[in-house]
Amino acid sequence: MRDFVKNYINLIFRLGLSAVIISTLLLFSNLTSEPFETPKFLVLLTFTGVILFLGTLKFTIANKIVLTRTPFDLPLILLLATAVISTFLSPNLYVSLLGSQFRVTTGLVAIIVLVLFYFILVNNFKTLKDIRFFIHTFLGAGAILSILTLLSFGGIKFLSSQWNQTLNFTPTGQSFSTTTVLAMMLPLLVWGIISNTNIIFKIINAVLLTMFGVTIALTGGLSSYIAATLGLAVLLAANIKKVKIQGFAKALDSLFLVVPLVLIILSAVLSFIPPVGNAKNPFYTQRQNFPREIQLPFNTSWKIAVSTFRDKPIFGSGPSTFVFNFTQYKPVEFNQTQFWNLRFDAPFNEYLNVLSTLGGLGIIALMLLTALFVSEALKSLSRSDYLEASLAASGLVFFTALTLHSLNLVVWVFGLLILALYMGLKKLENPSQITIGGSVPSFLFMICLAAVLLSFFFTTQFVKAEYHHKKAITALSENKGFPGYQELVKAEALNTVNEVYRVQLAQTSFALANALASAKGPSESSPAGSLTEEDKKTLGQLLQQSITEGRVATAISPRSAANWEVLGSIYRQMTGVSQDALKYSLDAYGRAIQLDPLNPNLRLAVGGLYYQIKNYDLAIRFFDDASSLKPDHPNFLYNLALALREKGNFTEATKVAERILTLITDKNSEDYQKAAELLSDLNARVQSDIQPPAAQTNSALEQKNLPRVELPKTGNLSTPSALEK
């Protein structure tokens, strides 16, 4: 065993880290519901677990622990400790622990894996040859990534219809992550051009520099531009004198840098210049059609983060909970933006994300990590070692990205890889280690073994659940309701704490019940309907399951306004089968409003419920609230005008209808015609039976003559007095 560990652990480490690098940049799969981050994270988790097990086994055999010390150890350990405490203080424990469905890498488990990943790297980079090998692996995978991204940008379909049918397809999953990682590679390519004496290697690095730069220029955003420019600028500025002394300023060698930079700048300029006359500019055309990722503005992010910090200053709201902070603390002016009806799960940058979710201790840890690296990097930039200077510049690109964008798994993995490569290179010159003996190695091995086995078990369950969830999504998209329902049941049985599975099962159960009631329920041709006793039993079971799953989802994630909104919507559409459905619906919507107080759509839904029971006073109040929160939205005003008309307040209703016409710019649209008809009707003071869209029935389960169903009892209602009024 001793010989095996000694002889093969380095080989396993090399192969494993190479797999992590390649998969993080290039792997995507249709076997999981989230096709990009989830499979990448699974590879990273496997690598981390295997190397951690072998490393602690090696320590046990040697009867001592030998660890490399770096300046970044303390801030990373502090960040991890804060995340652990913050998770267990979070009201959304499972979300903070495991992350959200489509951002699993923001939870505590992912933070633990990423911090362990860094420590594993710095303790296994043994030689300069190792460091060079992984840099070349990094650059090679980056070359493939760049080619695939450019092919997609050019409209070349090289994969099936499920994947690169849009211009912004990239194997990392986001244009931001692709261009940021490529920006981190640019200083390494400059190092390759400067340090190599072989003309072939200079040409290869120059070609890659051009290709990566053009990819950033065409598909990147402002954050990628700034990060890439800063990385190259600080490296060249710090080394310009050194380059001239060594004769690099000779015309031939200078071309390997100048030509790529000129081509990069030219492609960027062409992508922003529209063609003149009949001329064609494919760079500009493709860029105009290129789907851009939506980023929450800095001002809004700042207000949300500061408000969260005010209420939870030490440990924040918990990992992966920014979306809940967003709904609770977003400023009212956000409703005037074009993205007013979206819920963002990440702020403008990573510092604000940490401030909001991990509080004061978290931001101190991250700022300390930043300050320590910048201090070390500025010293390295002026040294004679080009590789150390280029890694320092790449690290500065990473920390620049932290200030300009919230990060995902891809950027975190390669940011930590750069930090580890940088510290691995520095430790070759000045090694600093800590040694621990006694019984600690054996104790650590047992803990590690237990953790790895538990991780393997839960990861297996997670993968199986994701597989069935993906099959459910596919079946439901093909309008195969019952097969989709069965797959969701299997997914939920394997992962009982996933709120998304619960919500989707609730919605699917309701949809099946609604379909059954629609097909066999009472109709004009058959007032009694054709529901058999078995059908009624099935209908009741599906509705019971729909409510139960919806309520469990709100228990798993009690701060999720979206979950309460879904539950309210389900109750609302059951008014035909339960006399309590309306009251429960108002309760659920009331809780959603408490968690998302500035969401006008929630006010619209509640107003529609009150309109439905002809409580026009409260309907007017909620429609008025919705239109106040979003005064430029015609639909909110339309519902308000109808409620005012039913109340008999024709003067105010007419004023509202006139405002609607000023907001609709297309005079030939159906919306304009409806608003004009409403105004004409109000001017004539003619009553009608028109219902506002917010109160129109859209469920077969709202029919009054369906069999009664006893719904699960809920706790204290948040709006019972309003209902009674």
| Segments making up each domain of the chain, as ranges | 64-436, 498-724
Tell me if 488 sits within 8 A of 475, measured CB to CB: no
Q: Decide if pLDDT at 572 tops 70.
A: yes
- What's the confidence (pLDDT) of residue 78? 97
433 sits in which H/E element = strand 433-436
- Whole-angstrom distance, CA of residue 175 vs CA of residue 546: 38
- What's the rounded mean pLDDT across residues 271-300? 88
CA atoms within 13 A on the CB side of 275: 12
If pLDDT is split at 50, 70 and 90, which confidence band does 23 have? very high
Tell me if 541 sits within 8 A of 513, measured CB to CB: no
If pLDDT is split at 50, 70 and 90, which confidence band does 533 have? confident
Tell me if 323 sits within 8 A of 103, measured CB to CB: no
- Whole-angstrom distance, CA of residue 17 vs CA of residue 194: 27
How would you class 206 by CB atoms within 10 Å of its CB: exposed for 0-12, middle for 13-18, buried for 19 or more? Answer: buried
Lowest-pLDDT range, 258-267, 356-365, 524-533?
524-533
Q: Which two tokens stand for residue 587?
A: 């309760």
- CATH annotation of 498-724: 1.25.40.10
Lowest-pLDDT range, 6-20, 236-250, 462-476, 509-523?
236-250
Q: Decide if pLDDT at 189 tops 80.
A: yes
Return the bridge partners of 446, or none.
Answer: none
Residue 59 CB neighbour total at 10 angstroms: 22
- Whole-angstrom distance, CA of residue 116 vs CA of residue 286: 41
Better-scored residue on pLDDT, 95 or 716: 95
Task: Give φ, ψ of 372 to 5 degrees.
Answer: -65, -40
Q: Which two tokens stand for residue 661?
A: 């016409």
If pLDDT is split at 50, 70 and 90, which confidence band does 725 have? very low
If pLDDT is split at 50, 70 and 90, which confidence band does 235 have? confident
- What's the confidence (pLDDT) of residue 519? 83
| CA angle, 607 then 611 then 613, to 5° | 125
Q: Is the dihedral of CA 331, 337, 342, 344 positive or negative?
A: negative
- Whole-angstrom distance, CA of residue 188 vs CA of residue 232: 10
- What's the confidence (pLDDT) of residue 101? 65
| CA angle, 133 then 135 then 141, to 5° | 100
Tell me if 264 sits within 8 A of 217, measured CB to CB: yes
- What's the confidence (pLDDT) of residue 319? 95
Residue 447 CB neighbour total at 10 angstroms: 11
Q: Decide if pLDDT at 242 tops 60.
A: no
- What's the confidence (pLDDT) of residue 199? 86
Residues 6+ positions from 269 with CB-CB distance below 8 Å: none
Q: What is the pLDDT of residues 358-397, one digit of tens each?
A: 999 999 999 999 999 999 999 998 777 888 999 999 999 9
Q: Decide if pLDDT at 712 tops 90.
A: no
- Whole-angstrom distance, CA of residue 316 vs CA of residue 314: 6
If pLDDT is split at 50, 70 and 90, which confidence band does 624 have? very high
Q: What is the pLDDT of residues 121-139, one digit of tens each?
A: 999 998 999 999 999 999 9
Q: Which two tokens stand for residue 626?
A: 């919705």
Return the bridge partners of 50, or none.
Answer: none
Residues 6+ positions from 18 with CB-CB distance below 8 Å: 134, 137
DSSP category for residue 346? S
- Which range in 236-245, 247-256, 429-438, 639-648 is most confidently predicted, on average pLDDT? 639-648
- What's the confidence (pLDDT) of residue 249? 46
Lowest-pLDDT range, 30-44, 516-530, 531-545?
516-530
